[in-house]
């Protein structure tokens, strides 16, 4: 029912002609409502009747985390035990705008959160508010990075511990849902995963299903891992991206300016500096891997493994030398593509993979459907990722990436298809066309290739 409404909404958004253009021909007929959520047995304490949801929401974690020069066994297990979305992206790739879109299921034009300094939360219901109305116990622990002056807990959370702004990796001062302020000594990710463990045990003891966001700052800059991890990858060989040496003149003007500004390079000036930064980045992910292993132990110990949908994703990616830059917000794969793994043994077979597009705005309807939310989802444009994973729904043919306020001075938009990516820059105007299938590192601009004229014209026409 909800899914039908969503599909209808996608087609009924007259103002968003791009969405209609994006809808593949099979999405209308192929959008059968997924089977109802399986209710658990029993119902006493320790036996919740409804599935719970845990979202490990990392900060700046790249899509290729499982191809890193170090193994992350808990992350690999999570992906192997459920579904690995091979083509998962964010519709906008800076912290605040992407988080606003994830929480509300709306694109940047609807959230109004266009940069990392928005004046207020969007006037839209978040998935946490939907969850509360659906009888779920809700929590968020970690980096919030949306407007919450004075670190005041946002609406929709029974338990919350976060802070105002981007925060620090060590001895972070948190504020809880009651306004109590405290310092979590040590590496923030450790405290966050510990706090999540307590929440899961408490909710299970109360027999209440829950929606839990675990939001470590890792591996966001500064590249300062926990002491037990710092330097542990010093001997690991690092291969820089093929495009690290891309000529400055080959880049769009906007990106040439970024390359020139030392403040945008995060101190990376040399190959050795880039390799050092890359090692620290992956060291920051080691704490996430340990945290996920801890959550696995807790869920298993509490008897919640099979009935819990556990997702791991990120608010955006992070370029580690691609095009000679250390950036997000740009439209390159390393910036806009994110990991997305989902494990739900009751519904999703282990070893599932899909290359269908999965977007940050899809978490809202996905979680709402898992909860069996009664609230209508209105015009939320996302799609149910469980249905995508199980083959009950088709993928989009394309999606729109938007950074309308990049650095407060430019607009970067991209139409992304399975094979092609067309990027349009304004201020100054420019464009790029990449063949992601033949050129996954985005090394060759096809926009000036006369053989690609038809593709270029078609994708230009898809741009709103
Ligand atoms: Ca981020």
Distance 91 CA to ligand 1 centre (A): 13
Give residue 221 CA to ligand 1 midpoint distance, Å: 9
What pLDDT, on the 0 to 100 scale, is given for residue 263? 58
Distance 34 CA to ligand 1 centre (A): 32
C-alpha span between 123 and 104 (Å, rounded): 9
Number of neighbours of residue 131 by Cβ within 10 angstroms: 27
Mean pLDDT of the chain: 89
Query: Is pTM, for the whole model, over 0.95?
Result: no
Residue 152, burial from CB neighbour count under 10 angstroms (0-12, 13-18, 19+): middle
Taking the centre of ligand 1 as the mean of its atom positions, its distance from the CA of residue 459, in whole angstroms, is 28
- Token output for 242: 């093929």
Q: So where are the chain's domains?
A: 2-398
Q: How far apart are CA 277 and CA 234, in angstroms?
A: 11
Give the DSSP H/E element, type plus range, for residue 370. Answer: helix 363-371
What is the rounded average pLDDT of the residues 279-285? Answer: 98
Stated as kind and residue range, the H or E segment containing 260 is helix 253-260
Two structure tokens written together for 117: 């300094």
Joined together, the tokens standing for residue 222 give 């500064």
pLDDT at 48 exceeding the cut of 80: no
Q: Which CATH class is domain 2-398?
A: alpha beta
CB half-sphere exposure, 253, CA atoms < 13 A: 9
pLDDT of residue 378: 67
How far apart are the CA of 143 and the centre of ligand 1, in A?
10
Is the predicted pLDDT of residue 35 greater than 50, yes or no?
Answer: no
DSSP character at residue 153: P
Give the pLDDT confidence score for residue 38 in this predicted structure.
39
Per-residue model confidence as pLDDT tens digits over 121-164: 889 999 999 999 999 999 999 999 999 999 999 999 999 999 99
CB 365 within 8 A of CB 131: no
Q: Name every residue whose Cβ is closer than 8 Å to that of residue 7 and which is 6 or more positions away in sequence.
A: 27, 28, 31
Greatest CA separation found in the chain? Answer: 68
| Bridge partners, residue 89, by sequence | 337, 359
Chain segment 390-428, per-residue pLDDT in tens: 999 999 999 999 999 887 778 999 999 999 999 999 988
> How far away, in angstroms, is 94 Cα from ligand 1 center?
6
Instruction: Compute the distance from residue 219 Cα to the ligand 1 centre, in Å.
Output: 9
Q: Measure 315 CA to ligand 1 centroid, in angstroms.
A: 5
Residue 44 Cα to ligand 1 midpoint, Å, equals 39
All residues with CB under 5 Å from ion ligand 1: 59-60, 95, 315-316
């Amino acid at each position: 029912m909800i899914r039908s409404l969503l599909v209808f909404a996608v087609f009924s958004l007259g103002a968003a002609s791009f969405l209609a253009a994006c809808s593949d021909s099979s999405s209308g007929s192929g959008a059968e409502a997924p089977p109802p959520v399986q209710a658990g047995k029993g119902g006493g304490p320790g036996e919740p009747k409804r599935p719970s949801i845990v979202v490990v929401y990392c900060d700046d974690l790249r899509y290729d985390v499982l191809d890193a020069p170090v193994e992350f066994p808990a992350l690999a297990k999570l992906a192997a035990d459920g579904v690995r979305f091979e083509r998962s992206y964010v519709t906008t790739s800076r912290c605040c705008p992407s988080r606003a879109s994830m929480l509300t299921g709306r694109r940047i034009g609807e959230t109004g959160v266009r940069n990392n300094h928005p004046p207020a939360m969007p006037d839209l219901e978040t998935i946490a508010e939907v969850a509360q109305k659906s009888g779920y116990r809700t929590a968020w622990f970690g980096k919030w990075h949306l407007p919450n002056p004075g670190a005041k807990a946002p609406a929709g959370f029974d338990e919350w511990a976060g802070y105002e702004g981007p925060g620090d990796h060590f001895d972070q001062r948190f504020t809880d849902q009651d306004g109590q302020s405290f310092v979590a000594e040590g590496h923030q990710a450790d405290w966050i995963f510990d706090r999540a463990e307590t929440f899961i045990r408490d909710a299970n003891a109360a027999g209440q299903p829950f929606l839990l966001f675990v939001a470590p700052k890792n591996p966001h800059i500064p590249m300062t891992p926990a002491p037990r991890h710092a330097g542990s990858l010093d001997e690991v060989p690092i291969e820089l991206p093929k495009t690290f040496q891309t000529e400055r003149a080959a880049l769009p003007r906007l990106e040439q300016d970024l390359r020139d500004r030392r403040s945008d390079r995060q101190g990376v000036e040399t190959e050795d500096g880039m390799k050092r930064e890359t090692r620290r980045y992956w060291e920051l992910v080691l704490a996430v891997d340990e945290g996920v292993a801890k959550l696995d132990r807790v869920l298993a110990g509490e008897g919640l493994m099979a009935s819990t949908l556990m997702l791991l994703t990120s608010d955006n990616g992070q370029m580690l030398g691609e095009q000679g830059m250390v950036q997000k917000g740009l439209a390159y794969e390393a910036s806009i593509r994110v990991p997305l793994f989902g494990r739900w043994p009751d519904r999703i077979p282990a070893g599932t993979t899909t290359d269908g597009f999965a977007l940050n705005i899809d978490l809202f309807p996905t979680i709402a459907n898992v909860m069996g939310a009664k609230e209508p989802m209105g015009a939320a444009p996302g799609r149910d990722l469980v249905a995508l994973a199980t083959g009950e729904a088709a993928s989009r043919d394309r999606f729109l990436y938007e950074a309308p306020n990049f650095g407060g001075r430019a607009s970067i938009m991209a139409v992304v298809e399975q094979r092609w990516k067309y990027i349009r820059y304004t201020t100054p105007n420019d464009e790029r066309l990449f063949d992601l299938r033949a050129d996954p590192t985005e090394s060759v601009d096809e926009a000036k290739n006369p053989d690609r004229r038809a593709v270029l014209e078609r994708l230009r026409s898809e741009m709103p």
